[in-house]
């Protein structure tokens, strides 16, 4: 139950929430009826389009999870986020159902299905590197049966194991312990990016998570060869792209998010700086020195720095000064390269 409360908090910052326990399902709720897809994307066949009753979102989630598991679920605990997303978390289960309302969701479904398909077909797996990506195992586009605009998508996702990074940081978990966790967070991000890295001579591109904030990261302690290690899990991967992205967006977003959230809790600036250093140390450990050198050189070039600052600023908004963040990253790259000559 403690784990569920932490998971609930992850999606509930600054929002009013309602928790419900569902033990009986309204027998009058209409069955989901397959219909032709309303999406024009060529990859629409990767998900299922069904009609649904927007007033029965809890039942829709419960039924989908039940059908996926192939058996009655018993008590199911729901989390409501009015106006945004609705999540259902099964107590003791390994999966989460996420229902998100909106009228422009086909692109998100197409994208995440493309990512999942790529990982499956190419047998891409980062688990040996300590990284788990919680990609959908099943996805649906929900078309309202009442003629309204209450379209939605529904994803069945693996439930992240361990602890929420945002909860642990904001609750003041031991700094040394969190330093080790953050080093692993940075390292796994570097490893992920290195796998997809492409050199275009004038610049480099890679994959990105797309929303690399501390609220979308979990960590879990495992024992390997008698040593404690951390397994990092990423959630909310629906905005992930596997090519053509700048390497600095995710690491810039992550460091900005740590600084913004931790300083707002009145954490000492020296501790926040320590956390950012550990992230960057791990990040460099996951990259090759040649890529670190390329990124370092790229940030020296005025136009490249201007372009990267603008892109990062679009992502982080009011969380921080993108130029200041990139200068800090550039400076750290320089120190790292000097110390590894």
- Please check whether residues 25 and 125 belong to one and the same domain: yes
- Please check whether residues 154 and 167 belong to one and the same domain: no
User: What SS3 state is found at 95?
Assistant: strand
Q: Which of 121, 143, 158 is the last residue of a domain?
A: 158
- Please check whether residues 249 and 306 belong to one and the same domain: yes
Q: Single out the residue of 317, 339, 307, 107 nearest to residue 326, CA to CA.
A: 307
What is the C-alpha to C-alpha distance for residues 223 and 202, in angstroms, rounded to an integer? 43
Q: Which of 158, 188, 217 is the last residue of a domain?
A: 158
The reply to whether 200 falls in a domain is: yes
Q: What are phi and psi of 284, to 5 degrees?
A: -65, -35
DSSP string across 136-201: -SEEEEEEETTSSS--EEEEEEEPPPSEEHHHHHHTT--HHHHHHHHHHHHHHHHHHHHHH-EE-S
The reply to whether 116 falls in a domain is: yes
The reply to whether 1 falls in a domain is: no
Whether the pLDDT of residue 208 is over 90: the answer is yes
Better pLDDT: 225 or 291: 291
- Please check whether residues 210 and 315 belong to one and the same domain: yes
What is the C-alpha to C-alpha distance for residues 194 and 206, in angstroms, rounded to an integer? 7
**What DSSP state is assigned to residue 32?**
P
The reply to whether 7 falls in a domain is: no
Q: In this predicted structure, what is the pLDDT of residue 74?
A: 64
- Please check whether residues 96 and 83 belong to one and the same domain: yes
The reply to whether 133 falls in a domain is: yes
When pLDDT is averaged across residues 29-41 and rounded to a whole number, the result is 37
Q: How many domains does the structure of the chain reveal?
A: 2
Q: Which helix (H) or strand (E) holds 96?
A: strand 95-101
Pairing of strands 48-52, 138-144: parallel
For a pLDDT cut of 70, what percent of the chain falls above it?
Answer: 79
The reply to whether 318 falls in a domain is: yes
- Please check whether residues 26 and 68 belong to one and the same domain: yes
Question: pLDDT-based confidence at 176, cuts 50/70/90?
Answer: confident
- Please check whether residues 268 and 148 belong to one and the same domain: no
- Please check whether residues 149 and 175 belong to one and the same domain: no
- Please check whether residues 173 and 132 belong to one and the same domain: no
- Please check whether residues 185 and 70 belong to one and the same domain: no
The reply to whether 4 falls in a domain is: no
Contact between 283 and 324 (Cβ < 8 Å): no
- Please check whether residues 210 and 310 belong to one and the same domain: yes
Tens digits of per-residue pLDDT, 50-67?
899 988 888 888 888 888
Total residues belonging to the chain: 341
Q: Which of 158, 193, 208 is the last residue of a domain?
A: 158
The tokens of 201 are what?
């001579």
Q: In this predicted structure, what is the pLDDT of residue 182?
A: 96
Owning domain of residue 278: 163-339
Pairing of strands 95-101, 198-199: unpaired
The reply to whether 3 falls in a domain is: no
- Please check whether residues 146 and 204 belong to one and the same domain: no
């Amino acid at each position: 139950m403690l784990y569920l409360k932490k998971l609930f908090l992850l999606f509930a910052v600054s929002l009013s929430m309602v928790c419900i326990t569902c033990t009986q399902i309204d027998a009058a709720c209409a069955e989901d009826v397959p219909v032709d897809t309303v999406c024009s994307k060529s990859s629409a066949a990767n998900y299922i389009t069904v009609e649904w009753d927007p007033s029965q979102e809890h039942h829709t989630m419960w039924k989908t999870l039940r059908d996926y598991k192939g058996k009655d679920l018993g008590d199911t605990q729901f989390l409501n986020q009015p106006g945004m997303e609705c999540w259902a978390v099964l107590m003791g289960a390994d999966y989460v159902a996420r229902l998100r309302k909106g009228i422009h969701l086909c692109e998100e479904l197409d994208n995440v299905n493309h990512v999942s398909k790529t990982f499956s077909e190419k047998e891409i797996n980062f688990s040996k590197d300590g990284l788990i990506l919680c990609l959908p195992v099943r996805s649906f586009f929900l078309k309202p049966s009442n003629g309204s605009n209450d379209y939605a998508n529904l994803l069945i996702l693996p439930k992240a194991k361990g602890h929420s990074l945002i909860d642990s940081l904001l609750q003041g978990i031991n700094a040394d312990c969190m330093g080790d966790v953050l080093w692993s967070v940075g390292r796994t991000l570097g490893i992920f990016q290195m796998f997809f890295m492409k050199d275009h001579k004038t610049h480099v591109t890679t994959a990105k998570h797309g929303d690399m904030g501390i609220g979308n990261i979990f960590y879990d302690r495992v024992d390997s060869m008698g040593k404690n290690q951390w397994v990092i899990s990423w959630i909310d991967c629906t905005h992930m792209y596997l090519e053509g992205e700048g390497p600095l967006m995710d690491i810039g977003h992550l460091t900005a998010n740590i600084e913004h959230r931790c300083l707002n809790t009145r954490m000492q600036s020296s501790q926040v700086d320590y956390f950012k250093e550990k992230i960057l140390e791990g990040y460099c450990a996951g990259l090759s020195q040649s890529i670190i050198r390329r990124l370092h050189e790229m940030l020296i070039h005025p136009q490249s720095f201007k372009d990267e600052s603008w892109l990062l600023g679009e992502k982080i908004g009011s969380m921080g000064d993108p130029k200041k963040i990139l200068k800090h990253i550039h400076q750290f790259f320089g120190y790292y390269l000097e110390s590894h000559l």
